Chain A
């Protein structure tokens, strides 16, 4: 890839703006609520695009392009089967409890619904997971810097980390959210021409189909019935239940990284619309991620011409092949924007959970608000510093996606069981949440050890991750139900606003139809069904 001075100029302007937004917001961070929750004041379209963008890290962009090159259109399931129903569910059914209970974080909701120990377990596991994940984006950004500017890996990691740390340190969640909106538009404008140029080069969609390594690559659903027939080696049960239900609902509905964007919204309807607004661009993202991956494998089936032996190179290699100088600067800026938004999402989620759920609860309660604001800033610096360390751990892994799905299967999958029972079954007792969650995490650990030492076998690592999630979730649900049977239920009046059957439904009758969450969700699912049928 050869960079011209114009490309460097475009990248530098991006950094100036990202830091500039942080500086512009510096004076507005007066209370901890401003810093961690943006004072709950942001319009729905902004939190919606930030919700989308916080999810668009290295995993989503480079990882799914790589998966598309490796497994074909099967990757569409991550969008149309996994993301869409879960995003609609969190917007319509779960956001009222998150936002309405005035919880400042996901673990804090668990304290209100269950008890202190459930919250602490979740806060600790979430903090660990987030730190491990944040290194992935730094790693991806550093690899890019290394290739483009020929900086050493260490220096590249530190430089990228410093930029993210500065803008969050200055402007907290607001700075992160505003930058995510900017990054969202840069990502769209940076990758869209790739879809157009790539499709043109292979002779349209029909030409692309002919050039793919096998006809199975051009189908989302057609080969799902038998594990042996689809490239990922997973049958319909593992796909629908493991990915479509447990992993996706676990991620979209309980991961504080995304939920936090909804909490920053200015009112309940905006909070409910946050994931629904995000779902619309998410639905069309395969165009910008899966399609370039397919074009890459169609042009280079042996991985020798452009891909250099690694699927992870699919997206950067296609940018280098199709983009002339000028547009190349925009494309690379889009890549960096995606890594930064993913990293920043993790850092803001970590500093909130650390400050509210660990530090304020267990280490140093009862301090004035200023103290926690300062702690949030220190936690930002700490999270970024640990992220630098985890970037070096990631360097030792050879596949980004397996690393991440493994972490999600450990922590998010059982958590979704705890949430589902807690929100929709009022009988669920205070103690049961902790034991269910703990046994779910232990089940994931046991499953992982058995797979790691080859006691049980799966056709691919991804299949192992899906089944690990199913086991973790099922064990969590069973243990929670059993413990509930032997313990006291909580008083109903304590659960108002926390449990579905005891909470007045949000009244949206006076909103115009296009602002009602239920109608938006039905529209999104209908459109998504059409896409599934077209690309069957």
Chain B
């Protein structure tokens, strides 16, 4: 097959997670009125980041270089 799909998934979710966390930290807190005062960007960004890192790790462990 060649391409391990977990690698691109891991990378894109890590990038998205990082973007959301950074944006959640610097954004005007007033925008979180829509999500009932919860800074959902930071929380959901963290969830996406963790998912992305796990996927990346799985892909890395399966790669021939690691073995």
Residues of chain A at the chain B interface (Cβ within 8 Å): 6, 9-10, 13-14, 17, 20-21, 24-25, 28, 41-42, 46, 174, 178, 181-182, 185, 189, 193, 197, 200-201, 321-327, 330
Contacts and interface: CB of A to CB of B under 8 A. Distances in A.
A9 B2 CA distance: 29
Given A28-B2, A197-B40, A323 B34 contact: yes
A24 B8 CA distance: 11
B59 interface: no
Nearest to A324: B31
Contacts of A181: 5, 9
Given A41-B1, A189-B51, A193-B44, A13 B12 contact: yes
Interface in B18-42: 19-20, 23-24, 27, 31-32, 34-36, 38, 40-41
B61 to A, nearest CB: 15
Contacts of B16: 10, 13, 330
Contact of B36 (A42, A200, A327): A200
Contact of A322 (B12, B23, B34, B47): B34
A21 B8 CA distance: 8
Contacts of A9: 19
Contacts of A24: 3, 8
A305 to B, nearest CB: 14
A21 B15 contact: no
A197 B20 contact: no
B8 A182 contact: yes
Given A17-B8, A322-B35, A327 B41 contact: yes
B48 interface: yes
B23 to A, nearest CB: 4
Given A178-B3, A322-B34, A322-B35, 4 more contacts: A17-B12, A178-B8, A323-B40, A324-B32
Contacts, number: 85
B45 interface: yes
6 contacts: A9-B19, A46-B5, A178-B5, A185-B13, A197-B40, A322-B34
A10 B19 contact: yes
A185 B16 CA distance: 12
Contacts of A325: 23, 27, 31, 41
B21 to A, nearest CB: 9
Interface residues of B, number: 29
A197 B44 CA distance: 12
A28 B11 CA distance: 22
A43 to B, nearest CB: 9
Given A10-B19, A189-B51, A327 B8 contact: no
A182 B23 contact: no
In the A-B complex, the 6 residue pairs with the smallest Cβ-Cβ separation, listed nearest first, are A326-B41, A326-B23, A324-B31, A178-B5, A6-B23, A17-B12
Given A189-B51, A324-B31, A330-B20, A182 B5 contact: yes
A42 B32 contact: no
A327 B5 contact: no
A185 B11 CA distance: 13
Nearest to B33: A324
Q: Which of B1, B31, B47, B51 has the most CB of A within 10 A?
A: B1
A326 B16 CA distance: 9
A346 to B, nearest CB: 21
B5 A324 contact: no
B40 A324 contact: yes
B45 A326 contact: yes
B46 to A, nearest CB: 12
A42 B1 CA distance: 8
Contacts of B47: 189
Contact of B8 (A6, A20, A324, A330): A20
Contacts of B15: 13
B26 to A, nearest CB: 10
Nearest to A2: B31
Contact of A14 (B1, B12, B34): B12
Contacts of B12: 13-14, 17, 182
A321 B44 CA distance: 17
A197 B39 CA distance: 12
B27 A326 contact: yes
A25 B3 contact: yes
A46 B20 CA distance: 27
B43 to A, nearest CB: 9
A13 B47 CA distance: 19
A527 B51 CA distance: 26
A24 B32 CA distance: 39
A13 B12 CA distance: 8
A182 B7 CA distance: 10
Contacts of B2: 25, 28
B20 A326 contact: yes
A330 B52 CA distance: 14
B42 to A, nearest CB: 9
B5 A193 contact: no
B62 to A, nearest CB: 11
Contacts of A20: 8
Contacts of B23: 6, 325-326
